[in-house]
Structures are given as C-alpha cells and as structure tokens.
C-alpha cells in the first residue's frame, strides 16, 4: 500500500481535486447567497451610543417647558452611571433630551436605567408620557418629488396618500414629507357676542384651553405599581372646537364657542413656498432606520410610485420625479467591483492550461484534474 507522503493543506488539496472542487463550490454558493441577502447602505453604520427622551408638553413658552419638564428630568438623571453627556432642547410644545453614553457602557442597560428614573419623575398634568428610545441612525434612500399646477390642498392630500402607501411595504421603514403646510384652527372672537353673554376674553381663552388638553384625573395603585388615569379632551377637528361649551345660562341654555366666535380650519401663517421645476411641490424622503437595506427600499419605492401612476386615480396634472437615489450609486460601485473581480479571475486563470481531463469518480461530483507543478508531484 502506497503511503501518503503529502504534507500541508495545499499539497493535500492538489492531490485530492474532488475535495478541492467541493470546497470551491461551497465557497461560491455561500458567496452568492451572502451577496443576494447582504444589507446595503450608503455609508458604514455606527454603533448607537445615545438615548433620546422626548416629552410633548404644550406649555406655550419654552421657559415653562424648561422649568416644568426638562430640568426635572435632568435632575433625576444626575448620578446615573454610564452617562457621558446630556444635551437638552426645550420649545413651547416639546422637550428633547439626548443622553450620550460613556465608553464601555452597555446601551441597553443605560436605556433601562434611564427609563426607570424618568418614570419616577412627577411632570405637569398637561405633559404627555415621556418616550425613551435608543437613538437610531437615519439614512436617506431616495427622494420622490410630487409636483404640478395643482391646489396646495391637493398636493398635501396626494403626498399623505403616497406616504401611507409606501409605509405599507415592510421594506420601507420611514417616510417624511417636506413642503407640507401645518394645519391650525383659527378662532376669531366676536366682541358683541362676548358683551351679550357678559364674557371676558380671558374667560373664553381659559375655557377653550380646558377643552384642548390632555389632563391628569387620578391614579390607581396596587402591589404592582401605580397607573395614571388621564381624560383626553384634546380637540383635533373643527367640529370639536365649535362644540366647546363656553357658559351655561340661568335657563339651562349652553352657549358654545360657535355662538361667540368664528372658527376656521386654516393653516399656519408660513410664507415659505416649496417648488420643483418652477411648480408647487411636496417632497417625500424614504429613510432607512435600523437594519433596513438601501437598494431594496429604493427599488420598492420606485415600483410603488409606478403602480400608483398606473392606477390612474391621481389628478392628471400631478407628476412624479426621483432624485438623490442612493441605490444608483451603490449599484454602480457593486458593478465596478464585479467587473474588477472578473478581471482578477481572468488574470489568475491565464497561467493555467485548460487541456485538463474531467473525471467522474464513483459516488463523487465531477472534478477537474489539472496538471500539477513539478514540485508538488
């Protein structure tokens, strides 16, 4: 019996071509599978290192939000292990606190600690429940322009409709609208009506405010903790404000806001205009959050827009255009990589002689036996 004198992996594979070919096939299959399922992104992702606390509080003044919400939360976070820096922003309607973790700190543990301390803070009754989340990296995949010689209401409606359609697809995690007008309820008080019912302007404002907020009513406590009970009296639509009771007369008649003021469903006084190709427009930005992949999201967004256009349900004067499609840049880079890889393979195969014979050992897949260099024989 001939003793196997081949030493080393290279020599062993050189004298066992079937095993070498099997290994090569496995590597190729694994590479193809990985290439088809790998996540694509425009820039390398960074490990999340921040926790964001957001509290909606319509105080009417940034100073009130600072005193009533932001400072209380910051004091509660004092001494929390793993915090490197705290940055806060207070506005008339919101408080945002960004916590940056120190090096070596587990973000999930910090998130849990922050939630525990924030839940214990006593906030104003008009403040919403704090939202504590990990700060996710956001990347734009593609932008869709909706434009045309159309009424602003039509553009807003179409933009919201397309946004909802895009978000129905699981490949698209987030969509934002730019250029959309902000709606508001305008209340124009009739002075003669106030005099007729002997109402002051401050009383009317207070009554409208009482029916336009989410106020805390009480709490339930058991061995598992305490549950806050809140009554939602926030008005969202024109009819909600028109039906607000202002005063009750001695005969039991209820005077409502529509009896003393004119309410109008309007928009904020914003003079900025968003145009695309010289026409009114709205922009939809398809964004990636978390593990979403760039190329599938951008391709699917194009397909959905084409489907909507093919349905013919939109006004004929509405047009669509795509720009800043990051998937095109990624596809170009991948195409260049494949082209360079093919050149490398070609250069590697040039020195080989292709006059080799193919053998089919019993019970094994096909294998190509190439002539061996003299030093390996």
When the pLDDT of each residue in the chain is averaged and rounded to a whole number, the result is 78
- pLDDT tens per residue, range 184-236: 777 788 888 878 888 888 877 787 777 665 544 555 566 666 565 555 556 66
The answer on pLDDT for 15 being more than 50 is yes
Least confident of 220-224, 319-323, 334-338: 220-224
pLDDT, average across residues 48-61 = 82
Strand residues in 235-339 grouped as ranges (E) = 245-248, 254-256, 261-267, 275-276, 279-289, 319-323
Task: Give the pLDDT band (50/70/90) at residue 270.
Answer: low
Please report, for residues 63, 290, 376, the alpha-carbon distance to residue 304 in angstroms, rounded to integers and kept in the order given: 45, 22, 59
Other Cβ atoms within 10 Å of 240 Cβ, number: 16
Whether residue 317 contacts residue 148, with contact meaning beta carbons closer than 8 Å, is answered with yes
Rounded Cα gap, residues 315 and 342, in angstroms: 48
Rg over CA atoms, the chain: 33
Least confident of 167-171, 291-295, 322-326: 291-295
Rounded Cα gap, residues 288 and 272, in angstroms: 28
DSSP assignment of 137-206: -EEEEEEEEEE-S--HHHHHHHHHHHHHHHHTSTT--EEEEESPPPEEEEEEE-HHHHHHTT--HHHHHH
Least confident of 31-40, 137-146, 236-245, 364-373: 364-373
Distance spanning both ends of the chain, measured CA to CA: 18
Phi, psi torsion values for 117, nearest 5 degrees: -75, -35
Rounded Cα gap, residues 82 and 114, in angstroms: 10
Bigger pLDDT: 10 or 367? Answer: 10
What pLDDT is stored for residue 74 in this prediction? Answer: 92
Task: Give the pLDDT band (50/70/90) at residue 287.
Answer: confident
Please report, for residues 12, 78, 188, 369, 375, the alpha-carbon distance to residue 8 in angstroms, rounded to integers and kept in the order given: 6, 61, 90, 19, 13
Task: Give the pLDDT band (50/70/90) at residue 362.
Answer: very low
CA nearest neighbour of 16 among 2, 3, 4, 29:
4
pTM comes to 0.56
Phi, psi torsion values for 30, nearest 5 degrees: -65, -40
What pLDDT is stored for residue 145 in this prediction? Answer: 92
The answer on pLDDT for 50 being more than 70 is yes
Least confident of 81-85, 90-94, 129-133, 292-296: 292-296
Query: Above pLDDT 90, what percent of the chain?
Result: 13
What pLDDT is stored for residue 1 in this prediction? Answer: 47
CA-CA-CA-CA dihedral for 266, 268, 272, 276, to nearest 10: -50
């Amino acid at each position: 019996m001939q003793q196997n004198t081949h030493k080393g992996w290279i020599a062993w594979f050189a004298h066992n071509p079937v095993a070498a070919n099997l290994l090569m096939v496995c590597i190729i299959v694994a590479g193809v599978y990985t290439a088809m399922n790998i996540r694509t992104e425009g820039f390398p992702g960074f490990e999340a290192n921040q926790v964001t606390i957001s509290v909606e509080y319509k105080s009417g003044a940034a100073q009130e939000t600072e005193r009533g919400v932001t400072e209380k939360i910051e004091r509660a976070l004092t001494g929390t292990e793993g915090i490197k820096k705290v940055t806060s922003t207070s506005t008339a309607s919101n408080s945002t606190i960004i916590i940056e973790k120190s090096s070596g700190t587990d973000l999930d543990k910090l998130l849990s600690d922050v939630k525990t301390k924030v839940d214990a803070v006593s906030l104003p009754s008009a403040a919403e429940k704090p939202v504590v989340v990990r700060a996710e990296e956001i990347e734009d995949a593609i932008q869709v322009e909706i434009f045309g010689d159309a009424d602003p209401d039509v553009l807003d409606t179409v933009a919201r409709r397309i946004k909802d359609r895009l978000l129905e697809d699981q490949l698209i995690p987030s969509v934002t609208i730019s250029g959309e007008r902000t709606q508001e309820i305008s209340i124009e008080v009739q002075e003669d009506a106030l005099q007729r019912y002997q109402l002051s302007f401050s009383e009317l404002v207070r009554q409208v405010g009482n029916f336009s907020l989410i106020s805390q009513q009480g709490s339930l406590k058991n061995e598992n903790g305490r549950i806050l009970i809140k009554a939602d009296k926030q008005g969202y639509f024109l009819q909600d404000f028109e039906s607000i009771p202002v005063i009750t007369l001695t005969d039991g008649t209820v005077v409502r806001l529509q009896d003393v003021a004119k309410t109008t469903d309007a928009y904020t006084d914003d003079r900025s205009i968003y145009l695309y190709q010289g026409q009114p427009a709205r922009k939809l930005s398809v964004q990636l959050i978390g593990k979403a992949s760039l190329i599938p999201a951008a391709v699917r967004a194009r397909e959905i827009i084409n489907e909507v256009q093919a349905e013919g349900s939109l006004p004929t004067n509405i047009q669509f255009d795509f720009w800043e499609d990051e998937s095109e840049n990624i596809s170009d880079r991948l195409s260049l990589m494949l082209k360079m890889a093919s050149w490398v393979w070609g250069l590697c195969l040039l020195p080989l002689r292709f006059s080799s014979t193919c053998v089919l050992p019993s019970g094994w897949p096909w294998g190509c036996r190439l002539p061996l260099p003299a030093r390996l024989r």
